[in-house]
Amino acid sequence: MDSQTLKTFLTLANVKNFTQTARLMYIAQSTVTNRIAELEREVGKPLFIRSKKNISLTREGLIFLDYARRILDLQELSIRELNSPAFSRTPLRIGTTNTIYECYLAPVLLEMLKKDSRYAVNLVISHSVSLLQSLQDGLLDLVFTYERLQKAGYRCHRFRTDKLLLVASPANARMQPAVRKEELPGLNYLFCNFALQEVGQFIRELFPPFYQFPFEIDNSTKLVQYLQEGIGCSFLPEGLVQPYLEEGSLQAIRLIDFEAPRISCYQCFPEGREPAFLL
């Protein structure tokens, strides 16, 4: 199972066409066919369902897809680090969600890089679930997420705890200085599920079952510009919106008959391999 075979599998899984896969990889179509056949023999399961019109992944193919990506990621990472001009530096592979990065991590990393040249930092920005999986696959040394990793062999410390504020633009004519819980469904709420578990559940339970939000996005920092334009309201971490509150482009809305939970984020790493850089 070599890297070219895995790349062929990933390309075919993406484009779902043998001819197009051959063209994209600059190889003969027969080579694509032979590589996939050899791979299926090696794993002992059919990976594709073939028909006259199209092909699709089998259930086993869908499972193998994730492993193939991770195998290639590990291979490329090791090659990149071994050939890095900073190989004498200590590699530090950090993963973080975008909100944690924007709210708390960016200035800390900036200061660290100014003062300390011992590290060769590789920063990955993704979602909590993906980051925790990459940590367990050995692709990352340290991750900052809104999800705790409660698993033997790993340490998880609280990194920051922040207020959750309901914010909107002062120019939003529909917004009042304070709102009741029952009024939220009528206020054009913009939804971002930047935090899972209890915080995400708290927000969803403020609205009726199957409520259709007028706008949803998976990146809270990108939500700010919509709020500044006077479009709706949203719960966001105080650390993210503080600059906009100070300049007056956003305002905090007081909650009359309910309270928002505080939101916590965590730093996680393998037990016994605690990175020298911890916050």
Which residues lie closer than 8 Å to 17 by C-beta, 6 or more apart?
54, 55
Q: How confident is the model at residue 235 (pLDDT cuts 50, 70, 90)?
A: very high
- pLDDT tens-digit map of 208-233: 988 889 998 888 888 999 999 999 99
With a cut of 60, say whether residue 85 has pLDDT above it: no
Return the higher-pLDDT residue of 259 and 111.
259
Name the residue among 77, 81, 78, 66 with its Cα closest to residue 133.
Answer: 66
Task: Say if CB 188 and CB 246 are below 8 A apart.
Answer: no
Task: Say if CB 119 and CB 89 are below 8 A apart.
Answer: yes
Share of the chain above pLDDT 70, in %: 91
Q: What is the CATH number of domain 3-82?
A: 1.10.10.10
Q: What is the CATH number of domain 90-161+265-270?
A: 3.40.190.10
Q: What is the pLDDT of residue 89?
A: 66
90-161+265-270 against 164-261: fold identical: yes
Q: What is the pLDDT of residue 52?
A: 73
Return the higher-pLDDT residue of 146 and 75.
146
SS3 content of the chain, % helix, strand, coil (to 5): 45, 25, 35
DSSP for residue 184 = G
User: In the chain, where are the structural domains located?
Assistant: 3-82, 90-161+265-270, 164-261
Query: What are the backbone dihedrals phi and psi of residue 48, each rounded to the nearest 5 degrees, phi first?
Result: -130, 145
With a cut of 60, say whether residue 87 has pLDDT above it: no
Q: How confident is the model at residue 196 (pLDDT cuts 50, 70, 90)?
A: low
One-letter identity of residue 215 = F
What is 164-261's CATH topology?
A: D-Maltodextrin-Binding Protein; domain 2 (3.40.190)
